[in-house]
Amino acid sequence: MKRWIATGLVALSAMLGAVSAAHAAGTSFPMDKAPRLSTDPAALQHGAKIFVNYCLSCHSASFVRYNRLTEIGLTEKQIKENLMFTTDKVGDQMVAAIDPKQAKAWFGAQPPDLSLVARSRASYSYSGADYLYTLLRGYYRDPDRPTGWNNVVFHNIGMPHPLWELQGERKPVFEKVVSHGHETQVFRGWEQVKPGTLSPEEYDRTIADLVAFLEWMGEPVKNERIRLGVWVLIFLGLFTIVAWRLNAAYWKDVK
């Protein structure tokens, strides 16, 4: 018995350590709430277009094939004409066009696969969608960085701003705050330096659509799973009522 208790305590300590490590690997920057658009076909289709045009050149989504995009309302003809290179087939995986060696030489590391990025970036205090939504709206110019860009969510990020033409250039505004004798920089907002081709509201909606698509890629069957779960709960509720009445009828003559 003592051996079982000791083993259980070791397992619990390891689990708590893993949770603490996952939290430490996160970010202390406050996350914005991402709009929930995973059930909006128009948003997912627009997000797929943004992903192919701005992300797929460097980042693969190798766990997803092009023909799965029919599940968000696109036809194979639309996929072929608008979202694929002419040499690709509709059953191919969504693989980046960049050569891995060139990517490592340019960015210092090979860009990660984005198939599961929305799930891998989730924390117990925020969702992966919230993280990505805040990250892609958190870029600012930094001449000290090799790419010329930095990010308030992921400091010293290696990836340059992929959508800077749409958003324009912004500068973060910080305020010095003294607390318990220590001076800290507190983020207060943004100052627009150069306008982009989209207004701030349009850019935020574009990022929301892109994040919705990234979230969908991580679990394409999520909406179907939720719908099925609702019907299962309804069935169990009705079955419980029937079983309760049947039990009452069966035992009513037993004294």
Hey, is 254 helix, strand or coil? coil
pLDDT at 150: 94
Tokens of 248: 């009452």
SS3 content of the chain, % helix, strand, coil (to 5): 50, 15, 35
3-state SS string over 174-231?
A: EEEEEECCEEEEEEEEEEEEEECCCCHHHHHHHHHHHHHHHHHHHCCCHHHHHHHHHH
Helix (H) or strand (E) holding 233: helix 222-250
pLDDT at 51: 96
Closest C-alpha among 222, 211, 218, 221 to residue 55: 211
pLDDT at 18: 42
pLDDT at 118: 92
The type of residue at 248 is A
Tokens of 233: 């709960």
Hey, is 121 helix, strand or coil? coil
Burial class (CB in 10 A: 0-12, 13-18, 19+), 15: exposed
Distant-in-sequence, close-in-space partners of 38: CB < 8 Å, separation ≥ 6: 44, 212, 215, 216, 222, 223
Q: How does pLDDT run along the chain (255 residues), one tens digit per residue?
A: 444 444 444 344 444 444 444 443 456 788 999 999 988 999 999 999 999 999 998 899 999 999 999 999 999 999 988 888 766 788 899 988 787 777 777 777 788 899 999 999 988 888 999 999 999 999 999 999 988 999 999 999 988 999 999 999 999 998 888 777 777 778 888 999 999 999 999 999 999 999 999 999 998 888 788 888 999 999 999 999 999 988 888 888 776
pLDDT at 197: 96
